[in-house]
Every structure is written in structure tokens, then in C-alpha cells.
A and B are shown apart, each in its own frame.
Chain A
Amino acid sequence: MDFIITEDQATLTTGVRDYLADVHTPELLRALDTSDSRRSADVWQGLVEMGLPGLLVPEEQGGLGLSLLDAVLIAAELGRAGVAEPIADTALVAAPLLAKADGQDALLTAIAAGEAKVALQHPANPWVADLDGASHLLSVNDGALLLADHSGTAKLLDSVDPLRRLYAPVAPSGTGVGPADALLDHAALIAAAQLVGLADAMLEQATDYAKNRSQFGQPIGSFQAVKHHLATAVVKIEFAKPVIQRAAVALAEGAASASVHVSHAKLAAADAAWAMGETAIQTHGAMGYTYEVDLHFWMKRAWALAGAWGDRAFHLGRIDAAVISGALPIGPGHSFA
């Protein structure tokens, strides 16, 4: 029993964080916001050079063969930087699913090389992100996960998040590569991890603002009302993180209870990020209500991911079915069973 992030994991996470802080700046987000495609081949290439697409691809296919625990740590960094490129869906959701399927070596190799992008479609997630530009589509039919090549264009939906590119679902097709629910659990876990990263970024922005904005002759961060709002938000964020890690381990092990842990993680992360968004805008005051302040990019992503990959009702429903019904053993000593 050892509930700890290793030094290697911490080093990898810090490396990704530092890289993204350098290249994936708020200025970049603003430039993407005014571009037609809202995607950047340069940014994608940078992520490829960092080795991100291959993190969870097995070593035999040119990846690093890392675990879902690594995946949630990296997903949090993608959230923290507000990355909009479809790297999380392809590298952190699709790759580990395809690695469990037979006969996907070529696609996995292409993913690791940054040459394939996999869009994800599931009934619990009504809109498909980055369908345009995807080379492959994972979709669901009759409980099965299907993989198909993808090309062509579709009509872009208008998300409040200026950098999300959403499309209506298409007819599921392709060859079976596993059970449908695996896609949902993996994607919900990665969404949860991105949500805590988004929350951390909003916390940092609000804290910086509170340190630098003065009223009544002193920084507003010296006032207890402001301090206590931010401290309350920190508690929610910090207690969501171990839930996500616990869910990552359960899902990696294929534990029977993994879905419950994923739902718990998604609920905790969405609550934390949503609350952090409201706290951050309140801390910024009227500035927070402007498009000029960066905060909105992160806040809107948090709203989007909170509803994506199973909304609150969906995940509470899964907790309900396991916990209230008595199907899942609960109480002391059952944390890791």
C-alpha cells in the first residue's frame, strides 16, 4: 500500500507543465481565438516533439507505455494550460483503449508519431470534439466500441468555449475494438483530470489578481473575505485530486468498482472547477466579467468539461446504483477493495 506519486512521475509532470507554460500562453489562446480553424499545426507539432501523443502507446509501437496514473497527471497539465488541441482525446483516451485491442499496432504507431488523431463519440457525450481533422473515429453501437477511419467535414456547432470545436454525432461504424463503457470511463477520467488542472490555473490567476489589485490602500488578497473564498476553493480542488488518482488506478487494474470511482472523480473535479470559476470571477470583480481578462478561457472550458462525458445526473446515477443500493461494500476498510 503506497498512495504516492513517484519522483519520475513528478518530473514528467513538471516538464510538461514548464513546456506548456512557455509555449501555450494566454497570448496563444487569444491568437487561436481569432483564427479560422482555432487549431495550430505548430502547437500540435510542439506537442508531438514533447512526446505527448505516445505517452500511453506501448513501447513496441514507439510510445512510452505509461499508465493511466501518468495520464491523469498529464491531463491536469493540459487543463492547466488550457490546451485545446485534441491531444487528450487521442493520446490519453484513445491510445490506452486501442492498446488493449488486437491488431491496432499500425494506428498506435501513427498516434505515437503524431500522425493520427482519434475523435471520440459516445451517447453519454452528445457532441463530438474535433471530428473535423480527425483521422479516426471511435464510436459506440449496441454496447460495442467501434473504430473507423474518418475524413470529410461537418457543420461546426457554436460552443461558449471559443476554442472547443464540436460537431453533431455521426452514424456509428467500424470494427469492434472493445466494450463501449470503457470509452466512457476513460474519457470521463481524463475530463476529470483536466478539470482539476483548469481549477488550479484559475486559482493561480485569482490569487495573482488578489495580490496585485489594491483597494482601500491594500491588496484585496489581504482581506479575509477574499482569503476565505479562495481557501474554500483550494480545499475542494485538493480533495478532488486523490479521488482522480484512485480512479485511475482502479480503471488501470480493471477493478469491478472502477466505474464508481470514475464517477466520483468526475463529480468531485467538476464541482471543484465550477466553484473555482465562480470564486475566480468574483475575486477579479468587474475585470473578471470582461473578455479581456484571460480567466474566461479556463472558466468556459470547465463548464464544457463538467457537462461532457457524463453530466452530474449521469455520474450521480452510477454512484446511486452502487452505493445506495448496497451493491458496493462501503465503510471502513473498503477504500481499496
Chain B
Amino acid sequence: MDLAYTPEQQDFRAEVRAWMEANVPKEPLVTLEREHGYHQHVEWERRLASGNWGMVTWPEAYGGRGLDLIQWLIFEEEYYRTGAPLRVNQNGIFLLGPTVMEFGTDEQKARFLTPMAKGEVIWAQAWSEPNAGSDMAAITSKAIRDGDHYVISGQKTWSSRASFADWGFGLFRTDPDSKRHKGLSFILFDLNAPGVTRRPIRQLHGDPGFAELFFDEVRVPVENRIAGEGEGWNVAMATAGFERGLMLRSPARFQAAAARLVALFREHETKVAPAAREQVMQAWMDAQAYAYNTYAVASKIMAGGHIGAEASLNKIFWSELDRAAHRTAMQLLGASAELRHLDGGALNMWLEGYIFSLSGPIYAGSNEIQRNIIAERLLGLPR
């Protein structure tokens, strides 16, 4: 164990910092859940891509920088240190991108990865259905083969980014007689194709963050399928692994929130409940613990190890620390917590953040599902 950054890593940090300080928008962007804000965030993705900072962990051949995981952590630290915007391209960077790299054909890689890296095509995910949430194998949306096309019919829901995004990816039942995990295929589709209807769903904050998608005989070329027909479940599990695993939430984000929480506490120190002091310290400690653990997992992966069911530990830890930290902030703000805009007119970021944090324990596999995974796969308890 050596917990010092190398000179090269320090130089890299300085390079990221310089670019971020010169390029991060001075004013916070409008939320990406609103059309105007969405387009601002897409602009930011293109700005990042112009400096080749969009997909830093991707191989250079696909428009990335081929950074290792420690460099990625440094990048993320500088990213959140400067308060850079949320990533509207998250689904592409961390979910679809790695999936296409692992399972896609050369033609698919060329066709999908470069526009993704440049921020030209923004992706929505389409996993859940009205009756297939935590039980994703209950998917019923069909993609029936018709010559060199699939004809998709059915419905997806809670589809993040789908209100405004360009393309989507998800699982569809290509064998109509199949049950559960079998007979599913991983298919990419144009959200503007004839027969696709998007119905934005207002989220807790009032903006349309995700959408329902209705498919009415949507024709999708067979070459939009990733991996073999009927192999979708395994592809999706690998994707879900990326999602739950190391890279969905970088520790820097929580460390930045904890530092802001300490500052907020100092502002309100004379009028807070006695327990608040300890909660603020706990928020800092948990963000630190998450950072150390992420460095440990990154080091393990770089040494040839891999992350399996342990990913479920991560997902529970970050989602619950994030909710607790924002809850503490709401309690520190007291009667002001409910105001959408604080004194001076700035958006109440703690309120926005608290609302967002409530989604953490639910999406990417609810924390109840994660606890089942820990109990069954790490502890070996019976199903």
C-alpha cells in the first residue's frame, strides 16, 4: 500500500484542474430535467469532448484517454472540486459505452461510440416496465423478427433522460414464447423513430426527469442488437454491474457535498439542534470512507481483481450516505428548507439534492434487492 500520488498523477491533477477552472460554467446550469437545462448540459458535454475530457476512461481508439482508475478518481475529484455540471451523458459513458465495447461488433463500436464520446447522441436507458421493476426478468415488451428488422411493441417506464434524449437502449423479448431471463435481447433504438411515443413523467421536483415509452410496431434494424439474440439478460447484467459498481457515483461528489455541508453547519451553528453537529461529522466520515473504499476497489481491479457482489455494498453505502447528508442539510436550513430559492434568488441546491438523493436507494436495483444480493451471494444465505 502506498497512499501517495506519483509525480505523474500530480501533474495529471494539475492538468485537469487548469482545464476545469478555465472551462466550467461560472453560473450553475438549469437542471437537466428541463428542456432548456438539458440543452445546456448537452453543450457542456460537447465542451468536455472538445478538450477530450468526455470519456476519460475509454480507450483512445474510441475517443477516450485510456485513463486508469486512479487517474479517473483524480479526474473526478477535480471535476467536482470545481463544481462542474452533472453528466447528461451518464448512461452513455458508464452503461452503454462499456457494454458496446465488451459485446458490440466492430461496426457497432464505430457507429455508436464516437457520437457518444462527442456528445452528439445522448442516450436514455429503458429497463423497467410497469410490471417489471425490481423483477426485471418479468419484461413483456416484444421485438419480433421480421426479415432484417425487429418490430417492437410494448411499454417501458422510469426511462431516465428519455424526455429529451436521442436514442435508447433496453431489453426486449425476442422469443415471444420464452419465460423470465431467457429469450431477451439487448436492443438500441432511435427515440425519434416512427411508432415511439414518449410521455414525460413529472418527478418529485416537478420536472420531467424520466419518461414512459410506448412502442407501437417500431421497426428497428437487426444490426441494432448487441450480442446474440436471446443473450440480452447476460449483457444487461454486465451493464447493471457497471451501474452498481465502481463508476456510477464517484466519491468526489459526496466529498464535495460533505465539505459544503460543513460550511452550511458553520453558517447555522448558533441555532442548530444538538444532534446536527454529529450528523455533519458523520456525513464527512462516510464520504471519506467511501473514497478510501473506492481507491481500494480501484487498486484491486488494476491489480487484476474484479468486483462482483461487493458492488451491492457500494450502492447501499453511497445512496444512504447521500440521503443522510442532504437530510442533515434540510434540517440545518430549518424553515428555509422548503424554499425553492434561497436568499439572493439562488436555487436551493440542498432541496434539489435531497429530492435527488431519495432516488438513490431505489434506482439501479433497489437497496432491498442489493441486501438480498449481499445476503445470498456474499453470506451464502438460502434464497
Say which residue of A246, A330, A335, A336 sits within 8 Å of B262 (CB atoms).
A330
List residues of chain A with CB within 8 A of the CB of B13.
Answer: 333
Query: Do the beta carbons of B376 and A227 come within 8 Å of each other?
Result: yes
Stretch of A40-48, A144-152, A174-182, A316-324 contacting B (4+ beta carbons < 8 Å): A316-324
The answer, yes or no, to whether B346 is at the interface (CB within 8 Å) is: no
The answer, yes or no, to whether B78 is at the interface (CB within 8 Å) is: yes
Query: Do the beta carbons of A210 and B313 come within 8 Å of each other?
Result: no
List residues of chain A with CB within 8 A of the CB of B288.
Answer: 243, 264, 335
Q: Can you offer 14 A-B residue contacts whose CB atoms are under 8 A? A: A1-B6, A3-B3, A3-B298, A210-B381, A230-B374, A231-B312, A235-B374, A238-B310, A242-B289, A330-B262, A331-B258, A332-B256, A333-B13, A335-B255
Q: What is the minimal beta-carbon distance from A255 to any residue of chain B, in angstroms?
A: 9
Chain B 1-31 near chain A by CB (<8 Å), digits 1 or 0:
1111110010001000000000000000000
Chain A positions 232-266 with a Cβ under 8 Å from a chain B Cβ: 232, 234-235, 238-240, 242-243, 245-246, 249, 264
Query: Do the beta carbons of B381 and A227 come within 8 Å of each other?
Result: yes
Stretch of B43-51, B111-119, B173-181, B275-283 contacting A (4+ beta carbons < 8 Å): B275-283
The answer, yes or no, to whether A211 is at the interface (CB within 8 Å) is: yes
The answer, yes or no, to whether B188 is at the interface (CB within 8 Å) is: no
13 further A-B contacts with Cβ under 8 Å, apart from A1-B299, A326-B266, are: A1-B70, A4-B299, A211-B382, A221-B379, A222-B381, A228-B371, A245-B292, A324-B277, A330-B262, A331-B258, A332-B251, A332-B252, A333-B252
Query: Do the beta carbons of A5 and B281 come within 8 Å of each other?
Result: no
The answer, yes or no, to whether B265 is at the interface (CB within 8 Å) is: yes
Please, how many angstroms separate the alpha-carbon atoms of A28 and B6 in the complex? 48
List residues of chain B with CB within 8 A of the CB of A268.
Answer: 285, 289
Q: In this complex, which of A6, A219, A319, A323 has the most chain B Cβ atoms within 10 angstroms of its Cβ?
A: A323
The answer, yes or no, to whether A69 is at the interface (CB within 8 Å) is: yes
List residues of chain A with CB within 8 A of the CB of B312.
Answer: 231
Q: What is the minimal beta-carbon distance from B348 to any residue of chain A, in angstroms?
A: 21
Q: B interface vs A, CB < 8 Å?
A: 1-6, 9, 13, 70, 74, 76-78, 80-81, 251-253, 255-256, 258-259, 262, 265-266, 277-278, 280-281, 284-286, 288-293, 295-296, 298-300, 303, 310, 312-313, 316-317, 368, 370-372, 374-376, 378-383
Say which residue of A210, A218, A249 sits within 8 Å of B1 (CB atoms).
A249
Q: What is the minimal beta-carbon distance from B328 to any residue of chain A, in angstroms?
A: 13
Chain A positions 279-337 with a Cβ under 8 Å from a chain B Cβ: 316, 319-320, 323-324, 326, 330-336
List residues of chain B with CB within 8 A of the CB of A228.
Answer: 368, 371-372, 375
Q: Name which residue of chain A comes closest to B381, CB basis.
A: A221
Query: Do the beta carbons of B285 and A3 come within 8 Å of each other?
Result: no
List residues of chain B with CB within 8 A of the CB of A264.
Answer: 285, 288-289
Say which residue of B1, B284, B293, B295 sits within 8 Å of A323 (CB atoms).
B284
Query: Do the beta carbons of A231 and B284 come within 8 Å of each other?
Result: no
Please, how many angstroms separate the alpha-carbon atoms of A271 and B119 in the complex? 44
Please, how many angstroms separate the alpha-carbon atoms of A3 and B251 in the complex? 15
Q: Name which residue of chain B comes closest to A319, CB basis.
A: B281
Please, how many angstroms separate the alpha-carbon atoms of A222 and B372 in the complex? 10
Say which residue of A4, A69, A316 sits within 8 Å of B296 (CB atoms).
A4
Say which residue of A218, A226, A243 sits within 8 Å of B289 (CB atoms).
A243
Q: What is the minimal beta-carbon distance from A285 to any residue of chain B, in angstroms?
A: 16
Q: Name which residue of chain B comes closest to A334, CB basis.
A: B255
In the complex with contacts A319-B284, A335-B255, A324-B265 CB distance below 8 A: yes
Query: Do the beta carbons of A69 and B281 come within 8 Å of each other?
Result: no
Query: Do the beta carbons of B256 and A3 come within 8 Å of each other?
Result: no
Please, how many angstroms separate the alpha-carbon atoms of A239 and B297 in the complex? 12
